Amino acid sequence: MTPPLGASVTEPERAVPVIGEYDVVVVGGGPAGLMSAVAAAKQGRSTLLIERYGFLGGAGTMGGLSTFCGLHARVHGEDVRVVRGFADELLDRIDLLGGLNAPHLTIEDRIAAQAFDIPAYKMAADDLVLAAGGEILFHATAVGVVMTADDTIDAVVVESKSGRQAIRGRVFIDGSGDADLAVWSGAPYEVSERLLYPSLMFRINAVDPDRAGAAWRTIGRLMDEAEAAGTHRFPRKKPIVRPQRNPIEWRSNLTQLSNEDGSPIDGTDVAQLTRGEIQGRAQARDTFAFIRDNAPGFEDAYIVDLAPQIGIRETRRIVGPYQVTEHDIRACVDFPDTIGVNGWPVEAHVAGDVDFRFPYAEDTRGFNQLPFRMVLPQRVRNLMVVGRCASMTQWGQSSARVTGPCFVMGQAAGTAADLALSAGVAVQDVDVTALQARLSADGAYLGTDLPPDPAVPAEPLAQEAATR
């Protein structure tokens, strides 16, 4: 029976036990939150990382990605690793576990990415946080904040099998991907009119590598031909299907999840998430069957893994003092408050397709700097917001949401938390020169040694303006 419109129940008021007090509390163990916790702990700060699942890695593990994008840039024709610092330690640990591929070229061979094995990422991430001196609380979902003043968070409230509990902190870092803490604490945010479409990732096993060859170049064509012949209809063009370290195993990024009216599934709506999971599995089943029946080398293959949940690319983004734009990405711009760099192109998951947009110039520096301001919310003085919900426009986020820039934001926010606490100032008043010096000393690459690309259009793209 459908309840009457606006029906509600009233919960009784209750005291919530405080189970911990930390210098730095990070919510969300994706690449941005994970690197924030590592950085804060390495600066000697008592740090807790709260994650709703039982493992770290965020979309990289729970979303089944198995590829690091945005670690590299094409710098004047050469593919160079440009995201450094604590990310190096994570990659070394994954490599030691035998779970890291050599970088490969992708998107028409225009940019490098690097595949990993998901179990190795999970193990390496645990070890990295714990070795840094951080603590982890798994299976706990943050559900709210308690404020001491309009601009200051006192505690985050979590729910788990242990019930409802609170954790106090001095600085909070929101790595939830959905800007949960920012929204609860009243920091301004925005939601695109039309979100990027989510996908359910899956992996295929028992491929014959010799017969499959470079099938990542041909599967998309086979799908286009089948659509043109009217025998099949696929959820999206430009499938990304690539071998893992062991070439009998391939990852597949080719689904696109939508509501009945064609709009994208919203990752903050539980009914839409439910629809997306069911639809994602049906799309995986159908597209896999096509590949098995049509691509040489896949005849005996099967789906060995469906990601634990659908992969959400975009929900809420904070509106901080500066929003990184598509123009910033494609013009390879510099910022005085650089915290690191990003060389990934704009990757817009629009209806039925993926639109990749690279730097304007042919021979280009290939990366933009990322400003510290992108992790600073307005209004709340002890909160930073990292990762895909940081301060970016939709098309800026379509680039800088990938793993490399998330590592950059995380290391900067964790380090800035220490500086804010040492100086007794709001995170917005951290000494940026001191932050940059600390980041450089910790191995981060700030992209200050190469000049930006010359001669770029001054105005933001009309396309981008249309989304604002």
Choices 61-69, 276-284, 287-295, 415-423; region in contact with ligand FAD by CB under 6 A: 61-69
CA distance 103 to 83: 13
Applying CB under 6 A, among 45, 60, 171, 298 the residue interacting with ligand FAD is: 60
Residue with tokens 């981008």, as numbered in its chain: 464
Residue 37 within binding range of ligand FAD, rule CB under 6 A: no
Most distant CA atoms of the chain, gap in Å: 67
Choices 27-35, 230-238, 434-442, 451-459; region in contact with ligand FAD by CB under 6 A: 27-35
Applying CB under 6 A, among 47, 114, 165, 199 the residue interacting with ligand FAD is: 199
Tell me whether residue 55 or residue 335 sits nearer to ligand FAD (CB atom). Answer: 55
Residue 280 within binding range of ligand FAD, rule CB under 6 A: no
Contact 287, 295 (CB under 8 A): no
Residue 243 within binding range of ligand FAD, rule CB under 6 A: no
Choices 37-45, 56-64, 350-358, 457-465; region in contact with ligand FAD by CB under 6 A: 56-64
Residue 320 within binding range of ligand FAD, rule CB under 6 A: no
Write out the binding residues for ligand FAD, residues 394-433 only, by CB under 6 A.
Answer: 401-403, 406
Helix (H, G, I), strand (E, B) or coil at 290: helix
Applying CB under 6 A, among 128, 312, 332, 416 the residue interacting with ligand FAD is: 312
Cβ of residue 28: shortest distance to ligand FAD, in angstroms?
A: 3
Binding mask 140-179 vs ligand FAD (x if CB under 6 A, - otherwise)? Answer: -xx--------------------------------xxxx-
Tell me whether residue 215 or residue 240 sits nearer to ligand FAD (CB atom). Answer: 240
Helix (H, G, I), strand (E, B) or coil at 427: helix
Tell me whether residue 179 or residue 453 sits nearer to ligand FAD (CB atom). Answer: 179
Neighbours of 356 (CB within 10 A): 18
Q: Which residue type does 331 have? A: A
Residue 134 within binding range of ligand FAD, rule CB under 6 A: no
Residue 33 within binding range of ligand FAD, rule CB under 6 A: yes
Applying CB under 6 A, among 134, 340, 377, 387 the residue interacting with ligand FAD is: 387
Tell me whether residue 67 or residue 325 sits nearer to ligand FAD (CB atom). Answer: 67
Residue 67 within binding range of ligand FAD, rule CB under 6 A: yes
Helix (H) or strand (E) holding 29: none
Applying CB under 6 A, among 22, 68, 86, 184 the residue interacting with ligand FAD is: 68
Q: Which residues contact 169 (CB under 8 A, 6 or more apart)?
A: 21, 22, 23, 24, 25, 48, 153, 155, 156, 382
Long-range Cβ pairs for the range 353-359 (8 Å, 24+): 353/236, 353/237, 353/238, 354/236, 354/237, 354/238, 356/107, 356/110, 357/326, 357/330, 357/395, 358/110, 358/111, 358/330, 359/329, 359/330, 359/331, 359/332, 359/453
Residue 313 within binding range of ligand FAD, rule CB under 6 A: yes
Tell me whether residue 121 or residue 290 sits nearer to ligand FAD (CB atom). Answer: 121
Q: The tokens of 322 are what?
A: 């500066």
Contact 400, 69 (CB under 8 A): no
Comparing CA positions, the residue from 375, 273, 343, 341 lying closest to residue 63 is 273
CA distance 280 to 295: 21
Count of residues engaged in binding ligand FAD, rule: CB under 6 A: 41
Residue 253 within binding range of ligand FAD, rule CB under 6 A: yes
Helix, strand, coil percent content, the chain, rounded in steps of 5: 30, 25, 45
List of residues contacting ligand FAD (CB under 6 A): 27-33, 50-53, 58-60, 62-63, 65, 67-70, 141-142, 175-178, 180, 198-199, 201, 253, 311-313, 387-388, 401-403, 406
